[in-house]
Amino acid sequence: MTNLVEKQPITKRYQRFALFGYIGLLILMPLWMFVFEPRENHSIGFIFAVYIVPLLFPMKGIIQDKPYTYAWANFIVMLYFIHGFTLLWIAPEERLFVLAELVFATSMFIGCTYYARYRGQELGLKIRKLKEDLADEKAAHEFKDNS
């Protein structure tokens, strides 16, 4: 179904934004952590698990172009915001890498947020509002009580 509905230009723009940030982080983090500024006081496994593996979780859904994956990928990108802003404060010598990380994370966050929104609308996907759920639940209980 996803491929049957054509993407509007604004949807494509936000997808490109998201992919720019995502691919940028996928390239930046291993190069930064293993090549340019190796962390001698951390094991390779730890660095890989903390800085690279989280980016791999949404890869399948992003490749398959699933709006829901773009939406929850924002939870993962928050790790990179926290990391970036922390290092901005404590590691001024790595400022160039930190700024690149924050640019990619911001691009991914904005792109994922709006891509999920616009693509979801194009596909007719809808997240029910809590108000609707509560009304349905109340109606079910009232029907049960009246029976």
pLDDT per residue over 56-98, tens digit each? Answer: 999 999 999 999 999 999 999 999 999 999 999 999 899 999 9
Kindly write down the DSSP assignment for every residue of 68-104, as one continuous string.
HHHHHHHHHHHHHHHHHHHHHHH-GGGHHHHHHHHHH
Residue located via tokens 């290092």: 87
Q: How many CB atoms lie within 10 A of CB 135?
A: 11
Position 129 pLDDT exceeds 80: no
Question: What pLDDT is recorded for position 105?
Answer: 97
85 touches 103 (CB < 8 A): no
Q: What pLDDT score does 138 carry?
A: 75
Read off the pLDDT of residues 102-124 as tens digits, 9 standing for 90 and up.
Answer: 999 999 999 999 999 999 888 88
Compute the 3-state secondary structure of the chain and give helix, strand, coil in percent, each to the nearest 5: 80, 0, 20
Measured CA to CA, the distance from residue 135 to residue 52 in angstroms comes to: 43
Mean per-residue pLDDT for 47-64?
Answer: 93
User: Among candidates 139, 111, 141, 113, which has minimal Cα distance to 24?
Assistant: 111
Query: How far are the Cα atoms of 17, 46, 119, 121, 144 from residue 6, in angstroms, in the given order?
Result: 18, 42, 9, 12, 44
Q: Express each pLDDT in 2-18 by its tens digit.
A: 457 888 888 899 999 99
